[in-house]
Structure formats: structure tokens, C-alpha cells
Chains A and B, each alone.
Chain A
Amino acid sequence: GQQVMQIPQYQHVQEGEDFTTYCNSSTTLSNIQWYKQRPGGHPVFLIQLVKSGEVKKQKRLTFQFGEAKKNSSLHITATQTTDVGTYFCAVNYGGATNKLIFGTGTLLAVQP
């Protein structure tokens, strides 16, 4: 079946260091979304990527979609304590369904 691997599961950084999480699929994707879940909160939509090789930026966050549309990354430059949380990718394989398959998430801890 379709699998979505997200690595690493956990990352602990010092404030000011960079952070990257990766999402990999065994099958070509139609599009991918990224969500952030703060501790005790619910997932909140960050961005959607659709095009091969697409790169989007939101302040210190950079999102990239691979050329083959099988992988994606989220990079945070100069982490802050407000970046703490779990980052999920969510993929769609196309077709008639609006169904998303979520990755297992990367928990980011930022030490002040």
C-alpha cells in the first residue's frame, strides 16, 4: 500500500539552530500539505505544494517539493521557542478523493 515516511521522529535543537524534516513517499504524489501541531493543540495548516520542484517560503520556514513529486522537506532557519511542536506532512495521491494520508510527524524541541 501507499506509505509515507517522515524523518526524523524527534529533533532537539538549541535556539538559533536550523531544523529540517523530510517526508518521503514510495508513490508519486498529486500534492502535499504541511501542518503544525503545538503541544496540547490541534494540527494547523501551514502550506500546500502542488508543482514539481516547487519552493515556498513563509518567513523562516522554507517548503520544498521534490522534482519527482515523491518527497518534500520543511526547513526552519534560526529556530525559536515558538517553533516547538510536531510537524506533519499530509499527502494526496490524486484521483477523485480529497483524502489525505498523514506522515507520523516530527516532534521539534527547542532549548532556549
Chain B
Amino acid sequence: DVKVTQSSRYLVKRTGEKVFLECVQDMDHENMFWYRQDPGLGLRLIYFSYDVKMKEKGDIPEGYSVSREKKERFSLILESASTNQTSMYLCASSLLGSPGPQHFGDGTRLSIL
């Protein structure tokens, strides 16, 4: 089974802090994704990556950046956290090619105070 592991289940940070969310997958998937999930809005794509050091903006990239130095690891960075970035963050991975199933981690519930 595919395992997608997010470093923290819950995280509390302060406004203005630089925040790192880590995601690791163990199935050698080329694609990795970061979403945020908010009530009534579904899942919105922040960034995705289809290869090491490659990244593409999703629908809501403002205020975020990403890093993919190794195939199995995809990091989401909040450069200067703000209260409107309080949310559930979900990481997912999938094989390259015509969109196949995305496998999700358990999520990180991030609160910015």
C-alpha cells in the first residue's frame, strides 16, 4: 500500500513565522501535490510537482512556496504565516501519466495565531 506521511498532525504557529510542512511518500511516485481544505470550499490545489526540482503553481499559490529536492519528499513553505492560512493541509502523490489515483496523507491541521 502507498504510504504518504505528513510530518505533523497538528501545528500551531504565530503570525509572521516561517512554517515548513513536510510530506514523504514511499511508492516512488513522480507527482506530488499540496492542497488546503476549508469548509464549503473543498480541496484547493496550492502547488504540485511532477519531478525533482520541478514545481508548478496550482490555483492558490500566493503566500506559499514549495521545495522538492528528493523524489520522495515535497515540502510546503509558508514564507510569513498569516491568520488566513489557518487550514487543513493535505499532501498527495500519484504516478506520472494520465491522472491516476491520488494517495493522500492524513493531513496537517495548521493554526496561525
Contact between A9 and B40, CB atoms less than 8 A apart: yes
The answer to whether the Cβ of B104 comes within 8 Å of any Cβ in the partner chain is yes
Mask, A1-22, CB within 8 Å of B = 1, is: 0000010010000000000000
Give the distance in Å from the alpha carbon of A101 to the alpha carbon of B102 in the complex: 12
Q: Count of chain B residues with Cβ under 8 Å from any Cβ of A?
A: 28
Contact between B101 and A98, CB atoms less than 8 A apart: no
Q: A31 — which chain B residues lie within 8 A by C-beta?
A: 98-99
Which of B42, B58, B100, B103 touches A88 (beta carbons < 8 Å)? B42
Q: Which of B92, B94, B96, B98 neighbours the largest number of chain A CB atoms within 10 Å of its CB?
A: B98
**A9-B40, A88-B43 known; A100+B105 contact, CB < 8 A:** no
Taking the closest CB of chain A, its distance from the CB of B75, in whole angstroms, is 19
Q: A44 — which chain B residues lie within 8 A by C-beta?
A: 104
B-binding residues in A (CB < 8 A): 6, 9, 30-31, 33, 41-45, 48, 88, 90, 92, 97-105
A-binding residues in B (CB < 8 A): 31, 35, 40-45, 48, 50, 56, 58-59, 90, 92, 94, 96-107
